[in-house]
Amino acid sequence: MLTENKIKEIYEQYIKVNYTKEYKNRYHPLPVHKNNKNWRWEGKDFPRVISLLEFERYVNKYDFQIEKLLLLNADWYGSEPEVEFLSGRYKSVLGITYDDNPEKYDLHRLQIKHKDFDFVMLNQTLEHVYNPYTCLTNVKEHMIKGGYLYINVPACNIPHSEPFHFYTGYTPMGLAALAHETGYEILEIGQWGNKEYLGRLFGITGERWWAEYNMLTAPGINEIENPVITWGLFKAK
């Protein structure tokens, strides 16, 4: 169980460390020259773009060399844009979705033959499982010790994919605490959001929908007090 002191330690080391001017303005102005991959930004929910730019930083920082890559709730045919940044860095990849086989691929009772994945990706999924603790524990059972887990998840969102939408989102501290309690070492925690995007999301300043980058006047501005998306990089203990 997390103690009060441990919660404060995690907050100071992995979350509050981001409350800097450089972090808040890292992508302002927005580096549109990076919109050059197969997964184009047009027509995409903008927060995912920011998390993708940060994922690129992690790839360069940690220099991932992956034997077996597992994509959860995704195939490997282009639905996970992060995979483009891992090109040449993995030897094999398996992509599974819940709909392919609900009995085997429900994360609450995950059953994959192989238990030796050294990089697992879990994107925009935790809000759609009713017991995230059980799910992350099961994921860890399919990883080698020291394997990487990358997660991105809403911090604030509108209901969708109902009835399988159990949480509106995870704060950075919430995601960090969940990973810690399920046996992962925290390496990185990130977040992005701003009032302009939230206004669009909730229909205050236009149609209620997920805004793409060209619908926003200052998309790169990151307001720590208005989180919309959270992401994290972890290691299996």
Q: Which of 150, 102, 146 is nearest to 126 (CA)?
A: 150
Query: What is the model's pLDDT at position 99?
Result: 87
Contact 124, 155 (CB under 8 A): no
- Enumerate domains of the chain plus CATH numbers: 4-22+39-192+225-236 (3.40.50.150)
Place of tokens 């639905």: 79
pTM for the predicted model, two decimal places? 0.97
Query: What is the model's pLDDT at position 17?
Result: 96
Query: What is the model's pLDDT at position 206?
Result: 87
Side-chain-side CA neighbours of 166 within 13 Å: the count stands at 9
- In this prediction, the residues of the chain whose per-residue pLDDT falls under 50 are none
Distance CA 51, CA 60 (A): 14
- In this predicted model, what pLDDT tens digit does every residue of 190-218 receive, in sequence order? 999 999 999 999 999 989 999 999 999 99
Place of tokens 């509106």: 168
